[in-house]
Amino acid sequence: MRIRSLFVAVPLVLLAACGGTAEPVAAVNTSPTADVAGPATPAATAVGTATAAEMPTATGAFGEKPTFTFPSETPPPGLQRQVLVEGTGPEVQTGDQLVANYLGEVWGGTTPFDNSYDRGKPSVFPIGVGQVVKGWDVGLVGMKVGSRVLLTLSPSDGYGTTGRAPDITGTDTLVFVIDIVNSLGKTVFGQADAAPQPQDPAGPQVGGDLGAAPTLTIPAGLAEPTEVKTTVIAQGTGAPVVAGDVYAQYGVWDWQGAQQAASWENEGPQSIPVAAETPQLAGLIGIPVGSRVMLQIPADAASGSPASVIVLDLLFQ
């Protein structure tokens, strides 16, 4: 994990747990920027003006696996977008971790080259920063959470003249339906209206407004923990966490109260794999998403990790 080089004192359990984003296979940007084919349309600079009649149709409601029907005409050039369902959530911002279901198919094809619906869970990926194909970066920024979006991409907005073997050639127009499930900004936190819970007045004190960055104070002379302790600071109203990946903001403090790491100051929300067999994180199971949680972690002589306190805002699972 990249954050490890910045904060060498972060407990090894958190370094091991925080992972990179799960990018959609079909849209990962693997083509050279200058590799352009198709009409002389600037790559991923603007959304075109094709009419609905020029675009494919897609069956299904938000969250359902779509099926395409293609018009007999040739594909419209460049990047085209049609909002099939208008969401009511916040707008997707450049640099967000976008949570989305999607299906991709070559124009005129009959078989998707990739989709998340069959995998049973959405993908998470950074948007607007060159980590996915250009058409996604431009076509999805500014859309609202809860939207179902249809995109068509000329090669210049997809994989260029090289295509993407074995399913996509250098002349194919790509068609995607994307359901925007959530969008996690770099400084998004847990619920501002989470229900505060009593804190032990003799223990570490978590401060700061809910919905904003937390603070931590450790009373002078407080003995280090000898076992992991999980404390709900404020209880959210989301679904209970189950074993699996959870997206969270986190801060880490040493036992002297000095902040050692803060996800919101660097890459933003991180994926943390919660499992019953990981004792430092097992206590998160059953806590509602949206909650703010404090973990007291004892020192580990084997790994060299010092005693620490981790405050997490559970954002999405």
What pLDDT, on the 0 to 100 scale, is given for residue 4?
29
pLDDT digits (tens, 9 = 90+) for 201-229: 999 999 999 999 999 999 999 999 999 99
End residue of a domain, out of 183, 200, 219:
183
Structure tokens at 25: 């296979």
| 32 or 186, which is more confident | 186
Residue 82 domain flag: yes
Q: How many C-beta neighbours within 10 Å does residue 11 have?
A: 27
Tell me the C-alpha distance between 109 and 265, whole Å.
44
> How does residue 121 score in pLDDT terms, banded at 50, 70 and 90?
confident
**pLDDT, tens only, 128-187:** 999 999 999 999 999 999 999 999 999 999 999 899 999 999 999 999 999 999 999 998
Average pLDDT over residues 286-310: 94
pLDDT one-digit tens code per residue, 51-69: 999 999 999 999 999 999 9
Residue 13 sits in the same domain as residue 103: no
- How much is the average pLDDT of 92-108? 95
Q: Are 56 and 177 part of one and the same domain? A: yes
Paired with 68 in beta bridges are 58
> Is 26 part of any domain?
no
Query: Both 205 and 299 in a single domain?
Result: yes
The verdict on 111 and 204 lying in the same domain is no
Question: Which amino acid is located at 53 in the chain?
Answer: A
Give dist(CA 53, CA 154) in Å, integer. Answer: 18
Checking if the pLDDT of 15 tops 80, the result is: no
Going by pLDDT thresholds of 50, 70 and 90, the confidence category of residue 26 is: low
Domain residue limits at 60: 31-183
Tokens 């040493």 found at: 254
- pLDDT of amino acid 46: 66
CATH number at residue 51: 3.10.50.40
Q: Which helix (H) or strand (E) holds 308?
A: strand 308-316
Which pLDDT score is estimated for 2? Answer: 29
Q: Which has more pLDDT, 126 or 39?
A: 126
Mean pLDDT, residues 101-108:
96
Tell how strand 244-254 and strand 195-196 pair up: unpaired
Task: Give a yes or no: residue 25 inside a domain.
Answer: no
Does pLDDT of 8 surpass 60? no
| Residue 24, in any domain of the structure | no
Indicate if the pLDDT at residue 293 is higher than 70. yes
Q: Are residues 246 and 128 in the same domain?
A: no
Read off the pLDDT of residues 232-278 as tens digits, 9 standing for 90 and up.
Answer: 999 999 999 999 999 999 999 999 999 999 999 988 998 899 999 98
Q: For residues 196 and 155, what is the distance between their CA atoms, to the nearest angstrom? A: 51
> If DSSP states are collapsed to H, E and C, what string results for the chain?
CHHHHCCCCCCHHHHHHCECCCCCHHHECCCCCCCCCCCCCCCCCCCCCCCHHHCCEECCCCCCCCCEECCCCCCCCCEEEEEEECCCCCECCCCCEEEEEEEEEECCCCCCCEECHHHCCCEEEECCCCCECHHHHHHHCCCECCCEEEEEECHHHCCHHHCECCCECCCCCEEEEEEEEEEECCCCCCCCCCEECCCCCCCCEEECCCCCCCEEECCCCCCCCCCCEEEEEEECCCCECCCEEEEEEEEEEECCCCEEEEHHHCCCCEEEEECCCCHHHHCCCCCECCCEEEEEECCECCCCECCEEEEEEEEEC
Check whether 285 has a pLDDT greater than 90.
yes
Domain count for the chain: 2
Last residue of a domain, one of 183, 216, 249: 183
**Mean of all residue pLDDT scores within the chain:** 87
Residues 235 and 257 placed together within one structural domain of the fold: yes
On whether both 178 and 227 belong to a single domain, the answer is no
Least reliable range by pLDDT among 8-22, 83-97, 177-191, 222-236 = 8-22
**Global pTM exceeds 0.75:** yes
Q: Is the pLDDT of residue 93 over 70?
A: yes
Of 161, 183, 205, the position where a domain reaches its end is 183
Q: What is the share, in percent, of the chain residues with pLDDT greater than 90?
A: 76
Residues 199 and 118 occupy one common structural domain: no
What is the pLDDT at residue 25?
54
